[in-house]
Amino acid sequence: MTVSFFDQFMSPTLFGIPLIALALTLPWVMFPKPSSRWLNSRLLTLQGWFINRFTQQIFQPINLGGHKWAALLASLMIFLISLNLLGLLPYTFTPTTQLSLNMAFAVPLWLATVIIGMRTQPTHALGHLLPEGTPTLLIPILIIIETISLFIRPLALAVRLTANLTAGHLLIQLIATGAFVLLPLMPTVALLTSALLLLLTLLEVAVAMIQAYVFVLLMSLYLQENV
């Protein structure tokens, strides 16, 4: 039976039950739990430092009204990083390679920012659809273009995350397959290919973290426009 390179992106099942729920639950189990001791462990201290630095950098340009989103976006950031990094381990499944899951992350948060903008400052929110000083003849066209660009934002968020992770996993599998095939034929070339695979894996670790950060950063920018 021929195995396709895209089979790795299919949700695994056990007795007909999708295991994507287990893949989504595992990161929360691995997070360190707060303790009642006076001094925290090194892992808890590192986690607290990371969350503080992240929230300061993301929410510094946002008004105080948007700081209520700090816990939500910080949790989403850590969750996405954990999913992306766990998906790089052998014999694991990466839920964030599924466009439907990423849309489920992007659409509710984007819609919440739009609703907040319409409720708190409707004039300012609708003002984004028409730049100041637009010629009269271009007003209908620009309103249509800006409306389309507004509604395409969650799709762009989800597609960006899905495409980057999918491309990285495919490259790793292609190069690993090439190194395995070349090993008995040309060992020197296979070793060079394996070195390239190691460098690509390190790059994918960075991409996994960067893409999670970009997802949350763009969501904070959408929030900043409407708060």
Mean pLDDT, the chain, rounded, equals 85
In a domain, 134, yes or no: yes
In a domain, 183, yes or no: yes
- The DSSP result for 21-68, as a single string, is HHHHHHHHHHSPPP-SSSS--HHHHHHHHHHHHHHHHHHTTS-GGGGG
Name the domain count of the chain.
1
Place of tokens 């969750």: 79
pLDDT at 5: 67
Torsion of CA 71, 76, 81, 83, to 10 degrees: 130
In a domain, 10, yes or no: no
In a domain, 219, yes or no: yes
- Tens digit of each residue's pLDDT (9 = 90 or more) over 127-162: 777 777 777 787 888 888 888 988 999 999 999 999
Query: What is the rounded distance in angstroms from the CA atom of residue 19 to the CA atom of residue 13?
Result: 5
In a domain, 9, yes or no: no
- Tens digit of each residue's pLDDT (9 = 90 or more) over 7-29: 667 777 777 777 777 778 878 77
In a domain, 6, yes or no: no
The pLDDT of residue 211 is above 50: yes
CB 84 within 8 A of CB 94: yes
* Average pLDDT of span 168-177: 88
In a domain, 135, yes or no: yes
Range of the domain at 216: 21-226
In a domain, 184, yes or no: yes
Q: Which residues, in sequence order, are bridge partners of residue 14?
A: 17
